[in-house]
Amino acid sequence: MCGIAGIFSQSDVSLDVIEQAKNSLYSRGPDVQQYIGWDAEGEQCNGPVRSALIHTRLSVRDLNPRANQPMVDDSGKVWICYNGEVYNWEKEKAVLESEGYPFYTTSDTEFILNYYLQHGISGLENLRGMFAICIVDFRINKVFLCRDRMGQKPLYYSSYDGMLTFGSTFRSVWTLLDQKKKTLNQKAIDAYLAHRYIPAPQTLCHEISKLENGYLLEWDLTTRELQKKQYWDATKASQQNWLQLFSEAIDIRTVADRPVGVFLSGGVDSTAIASVLAEKGHQDITAFTASFQDSRFDESSEAKRTALELGLPLQEIQIPQNIELDLFDRIVDDLDEPFADPSSFPTWLLCQETVKHVTVVLGGDGGDELFGGYKRYSKHLKSSWRQNLSLWGSPFDVPDSKNGKLLSELRMTWEEAYGLRFSGFTPAQRQRLIPSIDSKSVHYWRDSQFSEEGLNSPLQQMLSTDYANYLPEYILKKGDLCSMAHGLELRCPFMDHELFAALKGMPEDQRFTAKPKQALSSVSPQVERVLNLKKKGFNPPLTQWLRQSWKDRYEGIGGRLASNSLNLIEADGVDQLVDDYQAGKESLAERILQLLILDRILSRYSFSQ
């Protein structure tokens, strides 16, 4: 796991700019930070550059400096700059060696490079794992950027005036832009208010995009033209045994040259992973669990019981009851863009302590999406009969009340109204906060490549939306940012694409049970026991933080948001919401958190008019 960035320009770029981009990625790769630069003639240089690849390394496989990046082939013509981890490639490496491809390391980076040399860019479609990859091939004057199928690794890019930049984070690309191109994307602010995150491909800046999961970019160094294509058919199902694949997906993710652990809560997904680890004899792998002082949020006792039964050592990490504003700022800064999941705070703190013991950790992200585990699915299915039926009128023009929310929902189609099952601002609230945007969208989700025309059940419609939006840009993004803020590699077995295809081939009545995740009960007695417990979630003491720790931030927040959004956000609307919350309207808590996070993020970026 690492941080990557790069630039391909038609004018000189100062080394100060390259250093800024590199430094912004330090936490993602604390072991080694370096770059390679080229001048206008394509020669490597140490002065102002026209092109550069930047890499910060977290060493996990082959700790020798020979495995550092950017890495080049023997011809000196093909370079790779890569973030992530691919698995189960050793047999294919032996094939490549037998065909004469040289290997000087035991790193997956060199394997990907040689695999590309043999198969071309289409070969990347066969990789199994999580990745954001840049390959520069000077033989054909092409740059390729590729993001993994499920979206575990982020990849941002910008292309304008014959220039291409890219990076693992929004901030890394931001540092490489001309100031005049740093313009605020107003629709992205509205999208954040609606969803609590900004769905791909949009970002805060007009000139910066997020590459969608399962997509590939091709940049021509001669014509300076950019092409984007989807390389993975997410609708294909397989008939492989999903339980065997689940076990295999866990086993191959334990391979590392650094210590490995596992996150363990009182939930089904992490218990299933821990059970397979124990079954395969990995009792040397330590489990890490978060504990909260408030018993309403605490599942550590169940995690202790599971670890004891499985014979896994356990580290209990206490999440503090109080988070002061300086720590709030640090955590929000590490979230890179506006991102308002309350659980990101305990996740960040859990990762901070876990990395003191291990460098790699397995986690259960994605299980709810694969097996339909969220309560919102069953809740929204109750009204699936109406599909495209809706009342006349705009959902943006309703009273801000409980009845107003119901009216807003009925003025949308059933699929559009799914957005109200999350905790963002309603259309009417967004209208009051940013009235100047006339053409607001009910939602900003992108169309799903996971959908099969005419074949999706109502549940599959929701799942397809989540696979393309909520899963990569919310769940997996949170895991990536919170872990990489501390140089911790998070691996998610549920996100194995072969497992995903096998589950798509599973009969729906077996996969999506009335009581969710019953299919996992056969993994172990521990999973079967946990299935009968009430899930507490991973929720922090948000009310205490908002009403005590962070209350000083409310003063002047409306004015700051208006100023830093170039008067897009209505100051009075913000201040009214804050006043209502302070007066006791607890239902606004998560929306107040959204505003506090947006306030901090916008203060860090200076947008051009």
Q: How far apart are CA 561 and CA 576, in angstroms?
A: 13
The encoded tokens of residue 181 equal 């191109």
Please give the angle made by the CA atoms of 295, 537 and 148, to the nearest 5 degrees.
150
Check: CB of residue 207 under 8 Å from CB of residue 182: yes
Number of C-alpha atoms within 13 angstroms, CB side, residue 516? Answer: 19
553: left (phi over 0), alpha (psi -120 to 50) or beta: alpha
The encoded tokens of residue 72 equal 């080049």
Supply the pLDDT for residue 103: 96
Q: Which CATH number covers residue 183? A: 3.60.20.10
Q: Evaluate whether residue 536 is within a structural domain.
A: no
Q: How many CB atoms lie within 10 A of CB 379?
A: 10
φ, ψ for residue 76, nearest 5 deg = 75, 10
Tally of structural domains, the chain: 4
The model's pLDDT over 585-596, given as tens digits with 9 standing for 90+, comes to 999 999 999 999
Residues 6+ apart with CB under 8 A from 367: 268, 269, 272, 373, 494, 517, 520
Q: Evaluate whether residue 481 is within a structural domain.
A: yes
Q: Are residues 568 and 516 in the same domain?
A: no
Check: CB of residue 261 under 8 Å from CB of residue 358: yes
Domain boundary among 506, 531, 556: 531
Q: Are residues 142 and 203 in the same domain?
A: yes
DSSP state of 323: -
Q: Evaluate whether residue 421 is within a structural domain.
A: yes
Q: Are residues 368 and 381 in the same domain?
A: no
Q: How far apart are CA 397 and CA 391, in angstroms?
A: 13
Supply the pLDDT for residue 455: 61
Containing domain of residue 414, as a range? 375-457
Q: Are residues 301 and 423 in the same domain?
A: no
Domain boundary among 478, 511, 531: 531
Which of 459, 242, 470 is closest to 365 using CA atoms?
470
Q: Are residues 355 and 303 in the same domain?
A: yes
Q: Are residues 439 and 588 in the same domain?
A: no
Q: Evaluate whether residue 608 is within a structural domain.
A: no
Cross-strand bridge partners of residue 229 = 216
DSSP state of 551: G
Supply the pLDDT for residue 238: 93
Supply the pLDDT for residue 454: 57
Strands 360-362, 489-491: pairing is parallel
Q: How far apart are CA 29 and CA 59, in angstroms?
A: 8
Three-state secondary-structure class, residue 541: coil
Q: Evaluate whether residue 34 is within a structural domain.
A: yes
Q: Evaluate whether residue 279 is within a structural domain.
A: yes
Strand order in the sheet with 156-160: 32-38, 49-57, 2-13, 163-167, 156-160, 209-210
Q: Are residues 508 and 556 in the same domain?
A: no
Which runs of consecutive H residues, i.e. helices, occur in 485-588?
497-504, 508-511, 525-531, 542-544, 557-564, 571-582
Q: Is the dihedral of CA 461, 463, 467, 473 positive or negative?
A: positive
Supply the pLDDT for residue 121: 96
Q: Evaluate whether residue 235 is within a structural domain.
A: no
Q: Are residues 106 and 180 in the same domain?
A: yes
Three-state secondary-structure class, residue 176: coil
Q: Is the dihedral of CA 367, 370, 372, 375 positive or negative?
A: positive
Q: Evaluate whether residue 463 is within a structural domain.
A: no
Q: Are residues 266 and 209 in the same domain?
A: no
Task: Taking each helix axis as running N to C, give the angle between helix 268-279 and helix 242-252, from 0 to 180 degrees, rounded to the nearest 10.
Answer: 80
φ, ψ for residue 137, nearest 5 deg = -115, 95
Cis peptide leading into residue 70 (ω within 30°): yes
Model's pTM, two decimal places? 0.96
Domain boundary among 189, 208, 230: 230
Q: Are residues 350 and 247 in the same domain?
A: yes
Supply the pLDDT for residue 609: 75
Q: Are residues 351 and 448 in the same domain?
A: no
Render 275-292 in DSSP notation, one character per residue.
HHHHHTT-TTSEEEEEE-
What's the length of the chain?
609
Q: How far apart are CA 152 and CA 549, in angstroms?
A: 32
Q: Are residues 420 and 476 in the same domain?
A: no
Which positions of the chain have pLDDT values less than 50? Answer: none
